[in-house]
Amino acid sequence: MERKWFQVAAGLTWLALPLIALNYWRAWDRLPSRMAVHFDVNWQPNGWTSRESALTLALVTTVLPLVIFTIASYVVARRAAVSSLSRWSMVVVFYVALGFIYLVNTWIVDRNLNGRSTPFSELIMLRNLDTAKTGRTLSL
């Protein structure tokens, strides 16, 4: 039964692909024809491409890790000697990596729609809120 739950959890990682596509689809008409997809250390764009190429880049950078994760899950699920903790730890790593990929792709769409913004600004705002409340800096 646990193996079945592991396979379901590993298979659900593929939901990242339609979620990223949906994010682009919802904003497609508002996205500029030339999108910024690469940024320097000051978050200034220094690489541009078409909307179509940006979508392709987003999907390919999502599919490649998904294929690797799926193959790794298949291999781990077939091995009896792999502990349950190891299996589930691998799934957690998969979800964290895909979450990061999803956040970056979402930020790129948002950045092209709304202009200048800093990635993961929610974390920065959380840090500033904590500093304002306590007078000390939250270490992230």
Summarize the confidence of residues 103-130 as an average pLDDT. Answer: 74
For residue 104, pLDDT beyond 70: yes
> From CA 128, how far away is CA 140, in angstroms rounded?
11
Whole-structure pTM value: 0.76
Contact, 120 vs 103, CB < 8 A? yes
For residue 108, pLDDT beyond 70: yes
The 10s digit of each residue's pLDDT in 20-35 is 999 999 999 999 999 9
> From CA 95, how far away is CA 16, in angstroms rounded?
9
Contact, 102 vs 20, CB < 8 A? yes
Residue with tokens 């689809």: 25
3-state secondary structure of 48: strand
Using pLDDT thresholds of 50, 70 and 90, give the confidence band for residue 90: confident
> From CA 48, how far away is CA 30, in angstroms rounded?
16
Q: Which of 91, 129, 107 is nearest to 8 (CA)?
A: 91
Question: Please, where are the H alpha helices in the chain?
Answer: 2-11, 16-27, 51-78, 84-114, 121-134
